[in-house]
Amino acid sequence: MALLPAAPALAAQAQVQAPAADLAYVRLDTEKGPILLALERGRAPLTTANFLRYVESKRFDGIGFYRAMPYGEGNGLIQSGITKDARLLYPPVAHEPASKTGIKHEPGTILLANAGPGTGRSDFFITLGAIPFGDDFAPFGHVVEGMDVVKAIFASPVDPEKGVGPMKGQMLSPPVIVRTARKVDAPAR
């Protein structure tokens, strides 16, 4: 399923329904360019607070987008998080599924990755298109600017031999580094 060029921008606009006071903004400066995220403090308070804790402690500085998982034609997700030093991980956060938050799995959604409810820590996904995750992963915001960067990361080379099980062939080689992750003011509209 091919995405229309305007679909990510339209989805991001559709999801900006929370009052500005309920949104926190984070800028990821990656090797491929900036990605601006709007995080839903009001609808996904635990997941957003968890992500912001990593940002404010600068534990996301220097991490990499290390995975690009295809899902249908022209769709998929990219994954990042702390993978090299488990001492940098905070305890898992309670699961806030889409059925509880009302945040949809649309183009540009950011989700907390996990190995089951209540196990999510630092890893997160950003989707290129709508993916029917159900309540498996906790969506907590969306891309406001930088979907072109998300797509460029997704299109980065993968190593066909790296990865285990269903992740084999999805590992970026090399990973795309997140130079910094910082909380920023709301963009001017």
Output the pLDDT for position 19.
Answer: 61
Lowest mean pLDDT: which of 61-65, 165-169, 171-175? 165-169
Residue 34, helix vs strand vs coil: strand
Residue 112, helix vs strand vs coil: strand
Output the pLDDT for position 74.
Answer: 86
pLDDT value at 2 more than 70: no
pLDDT in tens, 102-116: 999 999 999 999 999
What single string gives the DSSP state of each residue in 119-184? -B-S-EEEESS----TTSSEEEEEEEE-HHHHHHHHTS-EETT-SSGGGTT-EEEEEEEEEEEEEE
pLDDT value at 9 more than 70: no
Terminal CA-CA length for the chain: 31
Beta-carbon contacts of residue 58 (< 8 Å; ≥ 6 apart): 180, 181
Output the pLDDT for position 3.
Answer: 33
Output the pLDDT for position 160.
Answer: 94
Rg of the chain's alpha carbons, rounded to an integer? 15
Please state the rounded mean pLDDT for residues 6-34.
Answer: 69
Distance CA 180, CA 29 (A): 5
- Please say whether the dihedral angle defined by the alpha carbons of residues 80, 181, 8 and 107, taken in this order, is positive or negative: positive
pLDDT value at 10 more than 70: no
Instruction: Work out the percent of the chain whose per-residue pLDDT is above 70.
Output: 89
76 pLDDT tier (thresholds 50, 70, 90) = very high
Structure tokens at 103: 């945040």
Structure tokens at 62: 């220097």
Residue 73 corresponds to which amino acid? E
Q: How many helices (H) and strands (E) does the chain have?
A: 4, 9
Higher pLDDT, 12 or 74: 74
pLDDT in tens, 120-160: 999 999 999 999 988 999 999 999 999 999 999 999 999 99
Distance CA 81, CA 84 (A): 9
